[in-house]
Amino acid sequence: MFRKVFIFSLLFFLSLFLYSQDFITEDGAVGNKENKTAKTKWTDKLVFGGNFMLEPYSYNGYSVFYADVSPMVGYMITDRLITGNYFIFRYYGNDYSRFYTSIYGVKPYLRYKLIKNLDNIMPFDAHFNTGITLVASQEILNVEKRIFYEGVGRKWITGTLAGLSIVQPLGKKGGFYVSILWLVAGNEEILITNNYSSPIVDIGFYL
């Protein structure tokens, strides 16, 4: 598992340096436009945000509480492609079954803007100002063994998620999104850590 964490972390940091464009200058030399125009402005491509959800409700008169606090940092490789990582903390409490547990981990991700604005493909201007984004991520979570397995202590589980996001722009580079994600590989227990939902509905923002 630590090998997987290392690999995903390495891919994330390498992706920060993948995007560059070579061009030929007037004197025939090969230059790098990205270095010339944005070398000192790489911080402008950083995005921050995350998922924050509190879901208290009642079940047969007992209190049930689910919380997800997952701050995120990302980098805009291009104006369409964003990569980054979520730092996950979840808590689930159920008074009915006397079940209480905390979950933590990371979630490297890729977001690709498939459609920047639905108005651009509509035969008329509907003033949607809404985009569609492809999303892929890898959840790497640490859970208590007693939840899914026998024994004590904690255990790492992983799951690959993929789906679509509806994005409402926020500011110059950010957006508020609602994602619908399916588990395409990995441990099915990942669904339980996401409040038992399938597909997973992910709500968050980035700026």
In 57-188, where does DSSP find H-type helix?
Answer: 145-148
Identify the CA nearest to 134 among candidates 160, 101, 109, 105.
109
Mean pLDDT of 48-75: 89
Q: Is the pLDDT of residue 51 over 80?
A: yes
DSSP letter, residue 124: S
Query: What residue ranges define each of the domains in the chain, with the CATH number in brackets?
Result: 44-206 (2.40.160.20)
Token pair, residue 206, equals: 């980035």
Give me the pLDDT at residue 191, please: 85
Mean pLDDT score across all residues of the chain: 80
Mean pLDDT of 176-180: 94
Q: Is the pLDDT of residue 84 over 60?
A: yes
d(CA 86, CA 105): 8
Give me the pLDDT at residue 192, please: 79
d(CA 193, CA 68): 10
Q: CA 175, 4, 83 angle in degrees (round to 5)? A: 20
Give me the pLDDT at residue 98, please: 82
Give me the pLDDT at residue 27, please: 46
Give me the pLDDT at residue 39, please: 56
- Digit-coded pLDDT (tens) for 102-161: 999 999 999 999 988 877 777 666 666 789 999 999 999 999 988 777 788 999 999 999
Q: Is the pLDDT of residue 180 over 70?
A: yes
